[in-house]
Structure 1
Amino acid sequence: MTNLDLDALVAIDVHTHVHADDHGHLTMDDELLDAAARYFKGEAPQPTVADIAEHYRALKMAAVVFTVDTEMATGHRPVSNEEIADAAAQFPDTLIPFGSIDPARGLSGVRAARRLVEDHGVRGFKFHPSIQAFEPNDRRVYPLYEEFQSLGVPALFHTGQTGIGAGLPGGRGIKLRYSDPMLVDDVAADFPDLTIILAHPSVPWADSSISIATHKANVYVDLSGWSPKYFPPQLVRAANTLLKHKVLFGSDFPLITPQRWLRDFDTLDIRDEVRPLIMKENAIRALGLRDA
């Protein structure tokens, strides 16, 4: 259960990563973390849940926190969903815990989803199809979506380019095609009561994400993973007009900090009346926070 003072918050960041647990275990191996840091032209910080809470509380922001479960595809044990959710519960004024379940876990993953929501207060789930190596519209994943829909929690899908594996030989085997947002369009059509968030500007498929979010009432777009100065111009136009109620602030912390993101967002040609929608109001609706 969250304890957010929604009126007092400056913003809600719907996309932040927990890279380490309190025991020093990392969400990815060093090669992938270092490649991501080079891609984002920064360091490879490893914040815990408490680190993220401290950072966002100082900014008077809330943050959605999650790891990415890629164990079945990479062999690397993820940071525990339960530990993240239980740690986030210590900061209910700041943090909104999401979980992550590798679809390859099958029925055990479906059961884990309900347990995470009912016993640990998880409020949504994150997928990274390219790293988890699955097609979002694979019918074998549908029981997991059915569980999310039944539980009333959203699904957040990485879309488009990824900094994970960038610049490595073969991209470390990570295939970008799994993160084509058109694969998620099938999911949105087949699960109309499931709230879906397409993460990132979806390059090179930005037009697809814009089209999907315009067509499907249950689909939103978050703006994380890219500095706003690099946003495709058609995305900026859509955020100002057709999608002004469907676009969400997200940073991709810690690889992009909210301070850096906001500094560039301030220079973007976004209408004054649209800015508060992007920064907070759209997320309140997408995440169902008024009912929390």
Structure 2
Amino acid sequence: MNIDDLVAIDVHTHAEVSSSGQGSLSEELDAAAGEYFHAAHRRPTLPEIAAYYRERKMACVVFTVDAEAATGTPAVPNEEVAEAAAANPDVIIPFASVDPHKGRLGARHVRRLVEEFGVRGFKFHPNVQDFAPNDRLAYPVYQAIEEAGAIAVFHTGQTGIGAGARGGGGIRLKHSNPMLVDDVAVDFPDLSIILAHPSFPWQDEALAVATHKPRVHIDLSGWSPKYFPPQLVQYANTLLQDKVLFGSDYPLLTPDRWLADFEKLPVKDAVRPKILKANAARLLGLG
């Protein structure tokens, strides 16, 4: 991967369909997410994701979400994501997802994915996986990620998954308060963490955690920048300018739309390239 040739690094991209056509969400949750984002919710294949980002001269972090214990639906296999990254090393950076309910078995999966498949990080969606980030059940998985030198990404704030479905599709919003991840940052001080998304309604909490804990970052995915809270823009311009990362949430939100709206934000010229590429390159160890 030639970092100098890249326009940007998108740290938040979803693999939503496997080579067999199997998705990671139930039909109810998948339909609710598509309605929430006002999108047809087309699910690109991994080769299509690679082609899409290559055309735009961007790299992308790609992951699935393993929530099988809570939903009964198997995830897109982590191995497929890693194999797609190996086939497209110029554009895809492989992350994975391990259901925290798997405990020590999950920890073994983490070690295997890092050692055998070159996975660089792991995605957690506490709402869909139905766990509180500071629940000790997840600690064996966190420990394995920390020991492997990989990154943990936590969905924070409201989610479009289940929005509008009866009972929210069983999704509990309380699990995505970023203050719950503060405990993880304390108990695993050498673990690099990304708080995904503007964290409505807990934006101030996310800013506090990222300011206080040196290895906690924030990605800006899932929202058009024109809707960013003013305090998020202020902190991105100042105290957190080295810890804020571009992410789109593709395919639910395209990088094209995100970048067009980002251009209109009052972001300092010196900060803009940090958010779009430099911060992610440093965190991911890409040079």
* TM-score (ref. length: structure 2): 0.99
1:130 paired with 2:127, answer yes
1:40 paired with 2:71, answer no
Rounded to whole Å, the distance in 2 between the matches of 1:135 and 1:28 is 20
CA offset digits 1:49-104 (Å, max 9, x no partner): 11110000000000000000010000011110111111221000000010100101
Where in structure 2 are the equivalents of 1:2-41 lying within 5 Å? 4-41=1-38
Kindly provide the amino acid, as one letter, of the partner of residue 231 in structure 1: F
SS in 1 for 2:206: helix
Rounded to whole Å, the distance in 2 between the matches of 1:231 and 1:115 is 38
Query: Is the Cα contact below 8 Å between 1:135 and 1:178 reproduced in 2?
Result: yes
Rounded to whole Å, the distance in 1 between the matches of 2:115 and 2:65 is 20
SS in 2 for 1:161: coil
Match of 2:49 in 1: 52
Runs ≥4 residues deviating over 6 A = none
Rounded to whole Å, the distance in 2 between the matches of 1:177 and 1:17 is 23
Match of 2:261 in 1: 264
Of 91, 95, 109, the residue aligned with 2:106 is 109
Of 149, 173, 183, the residue aligned with 2:180 is 183
Match of 1:279 in 2: 276
Query: Is the Cα contact below 8 Å between 2:93 and 2:120 reproduced in 1?
Result: yes
Instruction: Provide the aligned C-alpha RMSD in A.
Output: 0.7
Rounded to whole Å, the distance in 1 between the matches of 2:161 and 2:135 is 23
Where in structure 2 are the equivalents of 1:241-256 lying within 5 Å? 241-256=238-253
Where in structure 2 are the equivalents of 1:132-281 lying within 5 Å? 132-281=129-278
Query: Is the Cα contact below 8 Å between 1:81 and 1:100 reproduced in 2?
Result: yes
Match of 2:89 in 1: 92
Rounded to whole Å, the distance in 1 between the matches of 2:22 and 2:190 is 36
SS in 2 for 1:98: strand
Match of 2:70 in 1: 73
Kindly provide the amino acid, as one letter, of the partner of residue 258 in structure 1: P
SS in 1 for 2:252: coil
Deviation at 1:263, TM superposition (A): 0.8
Kindly provide the amino acid, as one letter, of the partner of residue 230 in structure 2: P
Query: Is the Cα contact below 8 Å between 1:14 and 1:222 reproduced in 2?
Result: yes
Kindly provide the amino acid, as one letter, of the partner of residue 72 in structure 1: A
Q: Unaligned stretches of 5+ in structure 1?
A: none
Kindly provide the amino acid, as one letter, of the partner of residue 247 in structure 1: V
Query: Is the Cα contact below 8 Å between 1:220 and 1:286 reproduced in 2?
Result: no
Deviation at 1:230, TM superposition (A): 0.5
